[in-house]
């Protein structure tokens, strides 16, 4: 299976932006989650928001994606709205990093068609971290589900123990737990594992990359374009 993973400013491709958002809403609905802050549309026309999308190379269908949103005075980060009612320290955390370039990886999803291939965590995560420095994001936050936490660690995130209970919150429903993560150095990504780090650095340096990957569901070829 041949796939494209590309990064672009959200407002620069309205059609794909809308397809990404519809896909995110469908996945959340499938899991019975109806109120998530990353589901908001207030970022649609923001110049401070980038999308990373996975598309079928043959027909262009959007099969997954994620959002990289810069912190600004005009547009709060989704993590601020998600956890502030439980832990107001999120505002202090955001203020601490905002001036030097703070952003959030959020709104990550993949369709059931490509479930189990690692697209929704590893390969999208690699791409998101690789563009962070390019878009002047010098600290990256994330609020992740248990199913993606270990893969977030692989691409360089670590627990943000300044928030919640050792980084954990009950969110977005009473029976679900989300974990606050952070990358303090997306340039060197010292916490990333060796394979992921080498891929991030290669993609950042080259901008375009073709990689053959073996997944539990078979071999795929990914055409990266950032």
Give tens-digit pLDDT for 91-116.
Answer: 999 999 999 999 999 999 988 787 76
Residues 191/157, Cβ–Cβ less than 8 Å: yes
Indicate the helix (H) or strand (E) that contains 87: none
3-state class (DSSP) for residue 183: strand
For domain 2-225, give its CATH number from 3.40.50.300, 3.40.50.2300, 3.40.630.30, 3.20.20.140. Answer: 3.40.630.30
Give tens-digit pLDDT for 139-149.
Answer: 999 999 888 89
Residues of the chain above pLDDT 90, percent: 72
Q: Which two tokens stand for residue 117?
A: 């291939």
CA angle 6, 212, 215 (to 5 degrees): 95
pLDDT at 134: 95
Q: What is the pTM of this model?
A: 0.92
CA angle 178, 129, 172 (to 5 degrees): 15
pLDDT at 41: 84
């Amino acid at each position: 299976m041949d796939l494209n993973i590309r990064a672009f400013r959200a407002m620069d491709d309205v059609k794909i932006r809308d397809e990404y958002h519809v896909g995110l809403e469908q996945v959340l609905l499938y899991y019975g989650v109806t109120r998530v802050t990353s589901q908001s549309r207030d970022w649609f026309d923001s110049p401070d928001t980038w999308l990373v999308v996975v598309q079928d190379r043959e027909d262009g269908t959007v099969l997954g994606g994620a959002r990289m949103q810069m912190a600004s005075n005009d547009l709060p980060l989704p993590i601020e709205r998600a956890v502030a009612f439980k832990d107001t320290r999120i505002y202090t955390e955001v203020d601490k990093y905002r001036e030097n370039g703070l952003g959030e990886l959020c709104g990550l999803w993949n369709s059931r068609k490509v479930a189990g291939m690692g697209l929704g965590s590893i390969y999208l995560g690699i791409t998101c971290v690789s563009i962070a420095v390019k878009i002047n994001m010098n600290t990256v936050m994330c609020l992740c589900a248990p199913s993606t936490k270990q893969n977030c660690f692989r691409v360089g995130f670590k627990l943000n123990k300044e928030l919640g209970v050792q980084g954990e919150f009950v969110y977005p429903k009473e029976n679900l737990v989300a974990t606050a993560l952070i990358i303090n150095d997306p340039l060197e990504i010292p916490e990333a594992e060796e394979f992921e780090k080498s891929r991030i650095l290669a993609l950042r340096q080259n901008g375009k990359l073709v990689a053959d990957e073996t997944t539990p569901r078979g071999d795929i070829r990914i055409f990266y374009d950032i």
